[in-house]
Structure 1
Amino acid sequence: MNLIHKIEHWGDTHHPQWIDYLRIAVGFLILIKGMSFVGDLDRVSSLVQQVNYTFYIWGGVHYIVFAQIVGGMFIIFGFQTRLACLVLLPILFGAVFFVNLTHGFSFLNGELWLSIVVLLLLILFLVMGSGKYSLDNLMNRPGYERKI
């Protein structure tokens, strides 16, 4: 067993029930944030331009919106949670270190603290996995058959 399989096994065996509820709440938060970006694409474009990411700005904007909406839904339902967290990590990393940190590191910067907490929780879910109340767990049960 390599290191990744050991981490996955540890996360699957040491998964309290309250972490599933936290995963669902974080998924809703990410989904709502992605939907709010759809409503205000000019704001997202200005955020991407602040980072001086001039190479394919609209591609980056669409990646952010798509990843947050689809990734949020995947995290809510517990479907491929580790993959969704892996896709969302660069977005939250950029939100913490490139976008929100430019507004100042203070207790009044609520967006920065929210981004830090969500980034840390995504890292936690990357290690812990989906949990008991998830589609991944439902599909991995004995007796579940894929009917295609």
Structure 2
Amino acid sequence: MELTHRIGHWADTHHPAWLDLIRMGLGTFILFKGLVFISDISVLERLLININLDWSSFIFAHYIAFAHLVGGILIALGLVTRAAILFQLPILLGAVLFVHPDESMRTINTEWWVSAVTLLLLIVFYIYGSGPWSLDQYMRTHRER
């Protein structure tokens, strides 16, 4: 726990404001992906069935869509960012490791690369936190209200 607090303190003191724009863009992108998934959930279910999640593809598809919708909004606003990222990490790890992993290096698989960059950004923002332009920071500085 001590290490977590030290990393959080270091990240808060070394967080450039321009990084918040990237966090907002990442949250918006994740929200958009959630909207795409929810608009045609059967495509996501078929994708999950293709990676041998037959018995639970319905549950996972709805979890992924809901987590992207809610998590994208929270990440974009900078509200409980680290908690929202924790719900996104298993989804993106699954996308990078299990969804067409054999095609990722041989061909131009843009969906894999988008998932890998999104996963990398989620890890960065889990370390750095929400930043100075966030609802978390606003709530920390305006506690008296």
TM-score bracket for the superposition, by shorter chain length: over 0.9
Taking structure 2 as the reference length, what is the TM-score of the superposition?
Answer: 0.94
Q: How many residues align?
A: 145
Distance in structure 2 (CA, Å) of the matches to 1:69 and 1:142: 27
- Per-residue CA shift, 1:115-139, capped at 9, x if unaligned? 1100000000000000000000000
* Equivalent residue, structure 1, for 2:101: 101
Aligned to 1:140: 140
Question: 4+ residue stretches of structure 1 with deviation over 2 A?
Answer: 102-107, 142-145
Match of 1:23 in 2: 23
TM (normalized to structure 1)?
0.92
| Equivalent residue number for residue 39 of structure 2 | 39
* 2:5 corresponding residue in structure 1: 5
- Alignment of 1:131 with 2:108, yes or no, is no
Deviation readout 1:70-129 (Å, 9 max, x if unpaired): 000000000000011111000000011101324442452111111110000000000000
Give the C-alpha shift of residue 50 in structure 1: 1.7
| Residue 119 (structure 1) aligns with | 119
Q: Aligned to 1:79, what secondary structure does the other structure show? A: coil
Identity %: 44
Structure 2 matches for 1:71-82, cutoff 5 A?
A: 71-82=71-82
In structure 1, how many angstroms separate the alpha carbons of the residues matched to 2:107 and 2:132?
35
